[in-house]
Amino acid sequence: MQDLLYFCQQLINGLTIGSTYALIAIGYTMVYGIIGMINFAHGEIYMIGAYTALIAITGLATLGIAWLPLVLLVALICAVIVSSSMGWAVERVAYRPVRGRHRLIPLISAIGMSIFLQNYVHLSQGSRNIGFPALIDGGFQLGGDESFQLSISWIQITIFVTTFICMSALSVFISRSRIGRACRAVSQDLGMANLLGIDTNRIISATFVIGAALAAVAGLLLGMYYGSVDPLFGFIAGLKAFTAAVLGGIGSIPGAMLGGLILGIAEAMTSGYLSGEYKDVISFSLLILILLFKPTGLLGKPEVEKI
Amino acid sequence: MLLLEDVHTHYGKIEALHGVSVEVNQGEIVSLIGANGAGKTTLLMTVCGTPQASAGRVLLEDRDITRLPTSEIMRSGIAIVPEGRRVFPGLTVEENLYMGGFFNNRTQNEQGIRHVYDLFPRLKEREHQRAGTMSGGEQQMLAIGRALMSKPRLMILDEPSLGLAPLVIKQIFEIIAQLRDEGITVFLVEQNAHQALQLADRGYVLETGRIRLQDTGANLLANPDVQAAYLGG
């Protein structure tokens, strides 16, 4: 009985972290799906989202505003606006001028952008980690006995609910809306979309903006969950989300969602049954295994040569 | 309607078109025939602006479109059925049609889709099927339908008969004739010279980036040089 409870606890922890990986992974997968490049600055966009949310929360606290829903809403909106503008700007400045060149060139440009943004935050916000107020604390027990209690915290529930809402909204947007349809069309044949009169540059920008907005949401959620942020906050999370995207099949949105959850659960199980020290080993081993045995990922489609 | 004046087009340093002049008048079907590698597709793509002409002018309804970006050209009353059809394989038939009518409002799209389904009842049956799973002929119908969605005044078709069964080719050519009757000007590129010239009001023969001959479709069909080179003697 206790073993089962312990397992469930790890599952809850894993799903929490996994759903935020999934949110970040969508940014990688959408950009890859549409222009075939890895946006290595995406982790930094997420980190900037977390910082912006923190600044907004601190600002509201200074003004004496403490009504929780308002604080969260303002923090969320600020984070989304700043991160989306960053995502848009990064594409304009660093990727569009080198698009269509050899694959390595945008990649290097992306790594450069990532280093630049990290150091920009180092300079402007300091390199120490800063405490993130636990706005949503507490939780409740789901059951158990004296020796082990299965518990779930409100912040975990907030993460599930928010992620679920974002994913559903994205799925509906991609499958039903006019712009979402155009995103899919552009990812399948960019040149043809252009021949239908569609300004593909705007669709590409939209992709970066959507990915960045979701990363900003993840930034706020994980800032609250971990309780602190630092300029390297985005680095590991970015790598993990990238792993999640590859695991699920890069280019596939359901794949990113699935990959994030699997990775989160794998990490939580490793922490729970082995040691927290090994969780990164496990995630990156998973990445290597999937690249060795199923390079297209769990839900990815093999690349078909166009005739 | 469409006028190319002394158009030169380069791919990198290689010149693919060496000064081509072509005219397509309102309401005509004009066919461009030529061997593989003569520059037929290049010529069509130059009209669409990818790649842009390096010299010369392209005029659409008396407006200079030579230097406009592709997306803007394609919103000026032109639609293309490209080589290899290029339907969006992961989108359904209906979604592909909606992409063709991206700039239409809802009623225009509903009318457009009804019109396309009237022309190609086959597409109606496949409405919710992914385009990539359909046969070549069906994909070709979809590519034509998608091009029709924007209500073009000029329709450009690049090798619509390529790789299709004779019966389907016949059907596609009937539809092209029908488009002209609806008032759409047609600029057709074909290797299937016989059928293309039979249908055409006028035709051009392109050889290694230069226009070699131009005449009415019937005269070109009767021309011994054309017969020898393109109609199998």
B22: β partners: B4
Going along chain B from its start, the domains and CATH numbers come out as 24-50+68-77+154-233 (3.40.50.300), 85-151 (no CATH)
* pLDDT, mean over chain A: 92
| Percent of chain A clearing pLDDT 70 (strictly above) | 98
Residue A123's domain comprises 2-136+152-293
Given this model, what pLDDT does residue A246 score? 93
* pLDDT, mean over chain B: 92
Residue A144 within a domain: no
Nearest CA in chain B to A185: B88
The predicted-structure confidence for A268-288, as pLDDT tens digits, reads as follows: 999 999 988 898 999 999 999
Q: What is the pTM of this model?
A: 0.90
Residues of chain A positioned with their CB less than 8 A from the CB of B146: 196
Q: Is the pLDDT of residue A145 over 80?
A: no
**Closest by Cβ to A195, choosing from B70, B95, B98:** B70
CATH number at residue A207: 1.10.3470
Residues of chain A positioned with their CB less than 8 A from the CB of B83: none
Given this model, what pLDDT does residue A299 score? 87
Amino acid (1-letter code) at residue A83: S
Residue A300 within a domain: no
Task: Give the 3-state secondary structure of residue B54.
Answer: coil
The predicted-structure confidence for B58-109, as pLDDT tens digits, reads as follows: 999 999 999 999 999 999 999 999 999 999 999 999 999 999 999 999 999 9
- Domain total of chain A: 1
Residue A301 within a domain: no
Given this model, what pLDDT does residue A305 score? 42
**Closest by Cβ to B99, choosing from A181, A199, A307:** A181
ipTM over 0.90: yes
Are A196 and B146 within 8 A, CB to CB? yes
Are A195 and B98 within 8 A, CB to CB? no
Residue A244 within a domain: yes
Residue A303 within a domain: no
Residue A298 within a domain: no
pLDDT average, residue stretch A51-74: 93
Given this model, what pLDDT does residue A103 score? 86
| Percent of chain B clearing pLDDT 90 (strictly above) | 81
The predicted-structure confidence for B114-138, as pLDDT tens digits, reads as follows: 999 999 999 999 999 999 999 999 9
Q: How far is CA A17 from CA A22, A88, A92, A220, A234, in A?
A: 9, 26, 31, 13, 14
- Answer with the residue of higher pLDDT: A3 or A27: A27
Given this model, what pLDDT does residue A139 score? 85
Residue A117 within a domain: yes
Residue A145 within a domain: no
Residues of chain B positioned with their CB less than 8 A from the CB of A195: 48, 50, 70, 74, 80, 82, 86
Which residues on chain B place their C-beta less than 8 Å from a C-beta of chain A? 48, 50, 69-72, 74-75, 79-80, 82, 84, 86, 88-91, 95, 98-100, 102-103, 146, 150
Amino acid (1-letter code) at residue B112: G
